[in-house]
Structure 1
C-alpha cells in the first residue's frame, strides 16, 4: 500500500476544501441560500437556546428560593400552607421538576434533599473599593460551601474578611399597605410596647417595623392582631450602620458588585446578601438597574436582602362560606383567611409534624417528652423576654412589685428570661472568663489534679465524654469545673466554726479544687469574685421571687444563709466532623435542680436551646450585657408547678469554642420545704410532700452518677459494641 509523506499530507490538506455541496437540481428548488461555515442554522439555534436556557435558569432559581422561603416561614405541608401551595402551582406550570420542588421544601425545613441537617453559616467580605458584605447561607456541606463562596468573592475582586461589626442584626417586619392610611404616629406606642425599636413607612406606603432579632415574630403578631394588619414578610437581617455607608463612585465597582450578586443568586444555599452602599456618583440609570436587580435597595443606602415573592392569594377578614370542591381556606396570622387553589377540601386534613420521644432523668426516675421533628427556631421576646433589673435597687416597694410581676409572667411561661442591669460588672465577668480558658487550656495532667473522682460531693474537673445527662442523646461533649458553697468564701462572711450543727453536714465545698489550681495566678481570686457577685445578686433576686408569689419580700432570707450556691465553668470544644455526623450534643437535655440558675454565656457563640410548650426547640441566643435566668425543679415544687422548670440543652455547632459560667442557687440544703401556702387552694391542693433541697439534689446526682458508671462498665465488657440505653 502506497504511503504519503508528511509533505504529501500537507499538500492534500491544502487542496481539499470541505464545502457544503448542493445538487444543482435541488438548488433550483431551494428557498434558502447555500449555508456557509459560521452562518449555519445550528449556530442561530444555539444562540437562541442559550438565551432561553439562561431565562429558565433564573426562573428556576427564583422558584426554588420562593419554595424554600414559604416552607421555612409557614411549614412544609402545602395543605396547611397556602403560600407554599401557590408557589408550587407556579413551579408546576413552569415545568420545575418535582425532585427540585421537594429539595427546596426540605431546605426550608433546615434539611437537604437527602434529609441531612442544614447548618447556617455567615461569610463576610470586602468588595472594591471598600464595600462591606455579609452573606447568610444554609448548607449540608460546610467545607464545600465555604470554598465555593470564597472562590466567587475572590473571582470578582473581593476579599473574605470580618465585616459584621459594620452591621447591626435586626428584625424587620413589613405589613401590607392598609386602606385606612395608618401612619407611624398611630402605631408607634403600640409597636414600642410590642418590642419594636423603630417604625417607618416605605415609598409604597407599607408599614415597616424594626425590632431586636428575638422579638420579631412576637412584635409582628401583636401589631397584626391589634391593628388588623396583614404581615407581608418577617425577616432577621444585617442592617448597615448609617455612618459606614460606602458610596458607589465608579462603574467598575458597580460591575463587580452586580457580577458577584448574579453569581450568588444562582447558589441555592445563599439565603441573604447584605451590603453597606449608597448611590454615590454612579448614574441614575445604573443605580436604577441595580435596584431592579436587587429588590429593596434604597436611595441612600441599604442592606441587600431577598424576601419571598408573595404569591397572589385571596385574603378574607372573616371566615368565608365553604365553596365548591377545589378550594381550601386556611386561617393565618391575625385571623386572615387565605384561599388556596392547590388542594381540594377532601384532602385538606391538617398534617402535624412527627415527634420523637425524649427521655429525661429525674430524682424519681425517667420521664418522657414529645419533641417535634422540626428545625430549632429563634425565640421570641414573649417566650424569653429581657427584663431590666434597675427596679431591684429602688427604695419604692411598688417598683419592686412591678418587677416581680414581669418575672412572674416569664416564670409561668417558659421559665426562661434574660436580665439586664444586673450589677455584675463586665470586668468581673471578663476576668473569670479569662481564668476559665486558662484552666481548660492546661495539659490534662494539670487538670487531673482536681479530677472529679477525688471529690465526695461532685466538685472538680470532668473531661469530655464523662457524662451522658440525657439517655436519648449522645455523650456530652464538654468539659466542666465545679465548686460548691463554702462559708468563708461567702460575700456575707461566716465563720466556719460558727456554722450550725444542722447545716454543717450539708456544706459541700472542698479545698482540693483550690489547692490543685494554686499554680494558676489569681485563678481562685477571679473565679470567686464572679461567684460572689452571682450570690449577692441571687439573694436579692430571691426576694423579688417572694413578692411574685404573694409572699413577704424577706420570706426566703433565713432560708438562704448557707445556700446551695454551685459554681460551674463549662468549656465546649469545636465539634468534630464525627460529632456533627452523629448529631452529638454539648450538654444533653435536662432541667436544673434548685431554685433558679444564673447563666452567663459567651456573647459571641450561641448553642443554648429551650424546649417550649409545643415541643419545639427554640434558640436562646447570647445577648450582650445580659445573663439568662431559668427556673429550677425545686422552685417548681415550691410553687406547685406554677413556675416552669423547662428542659434545655446545649447544641454547639459553632466554628469556635464556646464557654459558659452557670451559677445554681437554692435554699440551705438542710431546709425542708413543702408547697408554699399562697400557691395552693381547695381546687389546687399541694402536689408535693415536704423535702429538703439537699436531698432533692442528691437523688439526681446519684442517679446520673450511677447511670454513667453502669454505661462505662458495659463499655468495658464490650468495648467494640454500642451501648444502647435501656
Structure 2
C-alpha cells in the first residue's frame, strides 16, 4: 500500500487532479497541498493526500441519504497498474477495518464490558483512509508557522497510522508541554483514540494532540486510517465513565455530528486563510497601481 501511495504521488499534478476530491461532494480523491489548517494560527499544511473509503454505490442507502463521506471511490488511471492499485487499496481498507474492530473489543474489556459491547457501533461503520505525502519543509521555513500537519486531535473513534521510513510525527505530553518524536517502527502501527471516543467516555480516555513537521529533508509517506463507526449511532456516555450522582459532560450525539464538525472547522479555517491572502494581494495591487501610473 505504501508503494502504491508513492507511485500515485509521483504522478504529474495534472494527472493527480483528474481524480480531485473536488469532483464530488463525499470527500473521495486527491487533495492538493495546503488544503487544510488543523492548528489555529499556522499556515496551510504542507501535505497532499488521497482519500479512500468503503466502495459505496450510488444506490446504497448511505449515499442516497448523504451519510458521512459515503459514495464511490475515484481511482487513478495513470499509475502503472490501475487495477492492482484499486485491489490493493480495497484489501488494505478491509484488513484495517477488522483490526480497528479488534481494538474496540479490547477497549470494551477495559470498561468491564463484554468484548461485543461495541458491535452495534461497529456494524455498518464507516472509515476513511488517507494516503499522505509530506514534501520536505524548506530549510528556511518558520517552524512556528509551517507544519506538515498542525497540532490537532483526531475527529473519530480509533486511528491506525502506518508510517513509512521517515519520521516527523510528534505527540504532545500535556503536563510538561514537551513534544516527543514518534519514530517509525517497521511492522507496527501508531494507535490513537479520537475526540469522538474521548467525549463518549466523558474524557476518561484521552485524544492525544499530535502534529507532523518534516525536517528530514526527505519525502515522508504515511497512511492514517480513521475508523468512525456507524454514522447513525448515538454516542451516549459509556458505562463506568461518570461518577455516581454526576452528569456526563457531553450530550448524546450521532457519529455523523461528531465527524462533520471536525471537517467543517479544519477546512473552513483553510478557506478563510486563503481568502484573507487573496484580499491582501488585491489590496497590494490597488496600492501599487497609482504609483506605477505616476511613474509612467
TM-score computed with the length of structure 2 as normaliser: 0.87
**SS of residue in 1 equivalent to 2:186:** coil
Q: How does 1:374-413 map to 2 (within 5 A)?
A: none
**Paired position in structure 1 for 2:105:** 543
Given that 2:105 and 2:115 are in contact with CA atoms closer than 8 Å, whether structure 1 keeps it comes out as yes
Q: How does 1:417-436 map to 2 (within 5 A)?
A: 432-436=1-5
Which of 460, 470, 481 matches 2:50?
481
**SS of residue in 2 equivalent to 1:525:** helix
- The unaligned stretches of length 5 or more in structure 2 are 285-296
**CA distance 1:551–1:505, shift in 2 (3 Å):** farther
Given that 2:170 and 2:179 are in contact with CA atoms closer than 8 Å, whether structure 1 keeps it comes out as yes
Compute the displacement of 1:646 (Å).
1.2
**Paired position in structure 2 for 1:715:** 277
Q: What are the Cα deviations for residues 426-461 of structure 1, in whole angstroms up to 9, with x where unaligned?
A: xxxxxx111101111111101111212222122221
**Paired position in structure 2 for 1:607:** 168
Compute the displacement of 1:707 (Å).
2.2
Q: How many residues align?
A: 280
Compute the displacement of 1:501 (Å).
7.4
User: What is the distance in 2 between the residues matched to 1:626 and 1:512?
Assistant: 27
- Ranked by relative contact order (alpha carbons within 8 Å, sequence separation 6 or more), the top structure is 2
TM-score computed with the length of structure 1 as normaliser: 0.37
**Paired position in structure 1 for 2:118:** 556
**SS of residue in 1 equivalent to 2:161:** strand
Compute the displacement of 1:578 (Å).
3.3
**Greater Rg by CA:** 1
Are residues 1:650 and 2:212 paired? yes
**Paired position in structure 1 for 2:133:** 571
Are residues 1:632 and 2:191 paired? no
**Paired position in structure 1 for 2:289:** none
Q: What are the Cα deviations for residues 479-521 of structure 1, in whole angstroms up to 9, with x where unaligned?
A: 1111223357xxxxxxx86x6679953263433512xx13421
User: What is the distance in 1 between the residues matched to 2:218 and 2:283?
Assistant: 32
**Paired position in structure 2 for 1:518:** 77
User: What is the distance in 2 between the residues matched to 1:721 and 1:657?
Assistant: 36
User: What is the distance in 2 between the residues matched to 1:646 and 1:635?
Assistant: 11
Which of 15, 39, 44 matches 1:470?
39
**SS of residue in 1 equivalent to 2:94:** helix
User: What is the distance in 2 between the residues matched to 1:674 and 1:611?
Assistant: 28
**CA distance 1:507–1:631, shift in 2 (3 Å):** closer
Q: How does 1:31-50 map to 2 (within 5 A)?
A: none
Are residues 1:662 and 2:221 paired? no
Which of 15, 18, 22 matches 1:453?
22
User: What is the distance in 1 between the residues matched to 2:63 and 2:6?
Assistant: 38
Compute the displacement of 1:618 (Å).
1.2
Compute the displacement of 1:662 (Å).
0.4
**SS of residue in 1 equivalent to 2:240:** helix
**Paired position in structure 2 for 1:508:** 69
**SS of residue in 2 equivalent to 1:679:** coil
Q: CA RMSD in A?
A: 2.3
User: What is the distance in 2 between the residues matched to 1:505 and 1:453?
Assistant: 16
User: What is the distance in 1 between the residues matched to 2:25 and 2:104?
Assistant: 29
